[in-house]
Structure 1
Amino acid sequence: MSVHIRLMREQDIPAVFRVQTQAYVSAMVEAESIFRKRLAAAPATCWVAEDASAGVCAYLMAYPSTSGKISSLGSDFHPATEADSLYLHDLAVGTAMHGRGVGVQLVRHAEAYATSAGWTTLHLVSVQSTKAFWQKQDFVEVTALSPEQASALMTYSGPAYYCMKQL
């Protein structure tokens, strides 16, 4: 199995939305219009994994940020002009590709991009029992949160954990 990782394009949004609906509980499914806004705000840090037979089978939407900033569920991307970090807002893998390492490939791609940009960390919110996956990628949970960070974390359905990785 070989997937190709490339920049997300506007025409990928319907396929990205389908992957999202396979990966997330309904309370966390975000509208296609939000994906379009995010892609427009951060086109260099939104990627898809494409399989020759399945087409777009996974995606990662991220944006330049500052360490410690947590994005609320459903919020627009506001890339930092003085970024020191890449915020991995949304990683999803379609059900047909579960367990095949596609998510790890997308994370490694994002790490390489962040490193080339000179950023020192990656950060994200782990949801839906994915904390172990992120820990295997060397992310650690950050528990000392400001009231603003805790409030943003509460917008996610179910247990949510703010995690960071030093590059």
Structure 2
Amino acid sequence: MKIRRLSQPDLPEVLRIQRECYSQDFLESADSFSAKLSAYPDFCYKAVQSESVVGYVVALPWVFGEILDLDRVEYSIPSDPDSLCIHDMAVSPNARKAGTAKQLLDAVLDTAKQRGYERLFLVAIQGASSYWKRNGFEVVDVDEPLKRDLSAYGEDATYMTRAVEEV
């Protein structure tokens, strides 16, 4: 397994993996992924096995207590990002037992540490909060405005955070 930077030519594979992993309610367009990559590609990676893309992670500098809107076609990094938001991480079912997700997460953590970020956050969907808890993330109590924003991510959407240095 090799972890490499995600780039625009990888988007067809990202869309394929997304369809394998998520319900129709959470699928984002190629334009949305392209916008995220264009906004800040430094924290976006792919996992490659036998020359095939089997997983990806898309993360952006952001402000803790906010979330990225789903499927937008324009993203601008806030002028004062204090954290790193893992917007999306997905692994093909046939690559899940190979430690692919852990390698993708480690790539983001390593880069975040190098860039001086102290915190990661994300929105766990489709029951993934148990996976994230096993990797050091904790559930965050959210206020009403953020709770309304989270509703776009489904009923079980959970806002979670962890320190970059945490083991």
Give the structure-2-normalised TM-score.
Answer: 0.92
In structure 2, what is the Cα distance between the partners aligned to 1:146 and 1:29? 26
2:141 aligned with 1:150: no
**What is the deviation of 1:101?**
1.2
Shift of 1:74: 2.1
- What CA deviation, in whole Å up to 9, does each residue of 1:27-83 have, x standing for no partner? 111111111111111111111111125x11100001011222222322343323332
Amino acid at match of 2:77: P
Report percent identity of matched pairs.
Answer: 28
- 1: CA distance between counterparts of 2:163 and 2:102? 17
Separation of aligned partners in 2, 1:141 and 1:43: 27
Does structure 2 retain, via aligned residues, the 8 Å contact 1:62–1:86?
yes
C-alpha distance in 2 between matches for 1:74 and 1:110? 22
AA aligned opposite 1:158: E
Distance 1:101 1:77, change over 3 A: farther
8 Å contact from structure 1 (residues 83, 119) kept in 2:
no
Mapping for residues 1-167 of structure 1, pairs under 5 Å: 3-53=1-51, 55-75=52-72, 76-143=74-141, 145-167=142-164
TM-score (norm 1): 0.92
Q: Which amino acid aligns with 1:5?
A: I
Aligned-residue offset at 1:6: 1.1
Partner amino acid, structure 2, of 1:26: Q
* More displaced 10-residue stretch of structure 1: 61-70 or 122-131: 61-70
User: Amino acid of the residue matched to residue 70 of structure 1?
Assistant: I
Residues paired across the two proteins, number: 163
- State the 1:17 CA deviation: 0.4
CA distance in 2, matches of 1:115, 1:148: 30
Unaligned runs of 5+ in 1: none
Deviates most, 84-93 or 71-80: 71-80
- 3-state DSSP class of the match of 2:85? strand
Q: Residues 113-146 of structure 1: CA distance to partner in whole angstroms, max 9, x if unpaired?
A: 1111111100000001111100011000001x22
Structure 2 residues not aligned, in runs of 5+ = none
